[in-house]
Amino acid sequence: MQLIVLGMHRSGTSVLARLLNLMGAYFAPEGASTGANQENPKGFWERRDVRMLNDHVLKSVGHDWNRVLGFDPCNLPQDLVAEFSKRASRLVLDMDAHRPWLLKEPRLCLLFGLWRKVLEVPVCIHIHRHPVEVAASLHARNGVPIRAGLALWDRYVRSALAASSGLPTVTVSHRQLMQQPCETVRRLWLDLEAVGEAGLRMPPDAEVAAFVQRDLYRHQQWRDDLLPYRDAPQVQLFEELTTGGVLFTGSVAPLDTTSEQALAAYEASLPPMKPGPRPASPSTRGDRTTVQSQSATAADDGHAGTGTLCELDAIRRKLAAAEAGVRTAAAERVGLRDALNRAENAAIEAERRLSERFCETGELTRMLLEKDTRIARLETRQRKLTDASNARSATMKRRLDRSQRKADEQAARIEALGALLRSTGARATRAERDLAWISGSLAWKLGWPLRVIARWFGKRTAAEQAERREIEQVMASDLFDAAWYIERNPDVAGEGPDAAFHYLKHGALELRDPGPAFDTAFYLASNPDVAAAGINPLLHFIRHGRREGRLPRAGTRVATRDGHGRQ
């Protein structure tokens, strides 16, 4: 698998390349990297040979990384394309021995159309950073005006997307990579597996955290001086990219007029270009061989005079001096290489120690997270217990309130019954006293024959007639249900008049109900004057209560004489 990192300058391509290397992707042999500097303290993770080859192509046609107006990789000279293909093929062939490998260099965005022809199974990894942040970083590093930086971002991003159209593609967000490195690397690893790359691994979180430093995330878009650029067309393109709303088919859309003018003004302000570095040809021979062959040719001609011999001696002395310089340079190069190796070893050791320190920090962080999780679970459990206790307390309170209401109702009934009993007792006492007085009177004693004769002939007394009328009134009322009364009171014998008689003489005193529509205890409790008078509650309601709008039971509505009701 051939992993190609595509992204504009200052977009986090170096961080992404190193993370791919930590995941197991081969980068380059020792000494092939461009190293690190102040602007990229973690290293660029670029190959010098790749950068020189890209620079050679751009500068051969009068362009550079920041001079892109008018550049079209499809219109390059054929000899330049052939030379590029030859050298790029040799480089890719060397790297293919170490698959999976990665290739990162921002100019690939402009030249990937050429590289694509020498690749077999490329997977393109695009990294996108907010264009205003990229422009601000270019302005700080290279003095590029913000509008021109936005135009450069536009050209690089569109060129990369167009050149990689149709290939397996993975996208990485620069902001997510800097703010959530471990989660972003894990998602990248899964995305690469999804497109068929199974030779990578997920590096430890401590190793990722040791490399990605958030303090290196500078020039963020929310700076006050960058707010005027929030409506630039490149910002809209970036938002469409982040939501997956942009599709490229292989052609690069032109810049808008404002961006093109800003980029043209910037390029016009740049100094004239110098010839770019040309990659060394493996077939080039040294100057010494050429000069020696020329000297031998001149000596063989037999026409060299004294001047010519002097010139040959001078040439020989220069060659000797050059050889001494070459040897000295070679010795210095060996010394520099040794120093570089020692420095790299020291850097590797320092990175290893830093990684160990971050592992320890990660372990402490994990322990703290576990502790926080346990505390959160305990707090959740305590909250649930508190809620359950409050719910039980509320339920008990409602039950106590209902019990209290029932107790109050029962107390009211007991009070009404007591008043009824007291009234009945008083009446019974008066009746006994009257009966005693009547029984002791001479008229009662002399009138017994008449009473016998009256009973003999079936005549009723006034009291008996009144009792009969009361029974008839009760039976005629819609509130008395004889069958219901007998069913609810099995101790009552007989039907019809007997049931009505029982309610009049005993049932009301025992707070029994004459039917489902009349509540004896409620009526007596609601009407203490009836209870005090000792009147049968149902008779009172039939004779007076209905007309007065009194209620036969709780929650009912009765009609009064004026046609209105009372609840």
CB 223 within 8 A of CB 133: no
Decide if pLDDT at 276 tops 50: yes
3-state helix, strand, coil split of the chain in percent (to 5) is: 65, 5, 30
pLDDT digits (tens, 9 = 90+) for 73-115: 999 999 999 999 999 999 999 999 999 999 999 999 999 999 9
Domain span holding position 295: 288-439
Residue 236 shares a structural domain with residue 350: no
- Scan for tokens 């030249």, then name that residue: 111
Distance CA 428, CA 444 (A): 20
CA distance 48 to 140: 24
Higher-pLDDT residue of 376 and 33 is 376
The DSSP secondary-structure symbol of 563 reads S
- Considering the domain architecture, whether residues 262 and 344 belong to the same structural domain is answered as no
Instruction: Provide mean pLDDT across the span 336-343.
Output: 76
- Residues 296, 434 within the same domain: yes
Q: Specify the pLDDT at position 217.
A: 75
pLDDT at 130: 94
Proportion of the chain above pLDDT 90, given as a percent: 44
Domain count, the chain: 3
Residues ≥6 apart with Cβ < 8 Å to 224:
none
Does 451 reside within a domain?
Answer: no
Enter the tokens of residue 135. 């422009």
Domain boundary among 408, 439, 470: 439
Does 314 lie in the same domain as 385? yes
For residue 182, which amino acid is it?
A: C
pLDDT per position as a tens digit, 370-409: 888 889 989 898 899 989 989 988 998 998 888 888 888 7
CATH of the domain at 206: 3.40.50.300
Query: Tell me, what's the pLDDT at 42?
Result: 67
- With respect to residue 278, please indicate whether it lies within any of the assigned structural domains: no
Residues 294 and 203 in one domain: no
pLDDT at residue 103, as a whole number: 96
User: In this structure, is residue 447 part of a structural domain?
Assistant: no
- Judge contact between 277 and 55, C-beta under 8 A: yes
Report yes or no on 276 lying in a domain.
no
In a domain, 188, yes or no: yes
Whether residue 298 sits in one domain with residue 244: no
The mean pLDDT value of the chain amounts to: 82
Same domain, 262 and 348: no
Say if residue 28 is in the same domain as residue 132. yes
pLDDT on residue 554 = 86
Are residues 424 and 322 part of one domain?
yes
In a domain, residue 521? The reply is: yes
Residues 214 and 325 placed together within one structural domain of the fold: no
Q: Do 153 and 231 belong to one domain?
A: yes
Residue 548 counted as domain residue: yes
How many H helices and E strands in the chain?
22, 6
Torsional sign, CA 169, 175, 181, 184: negative
Does residue 284 have a pLDDT over 80?
Answer: no
Last residue of a domain, one of 439, 471, 501: 439
Report if residue 275 sits inside a domain: no
Is the domain of 356 the same as that of 254? no
Residue 286 CA: distances (Å) to CA of 215, 281, 282, 292, 320: 49, 12, 11, 10, 14
- Per-residue pLDDT reduced to its tens digit, 131-164: 999 999 999 889 999 999 999 999 999 999 999 9
Among 233, 268, 303, the domain boundary falls at 268
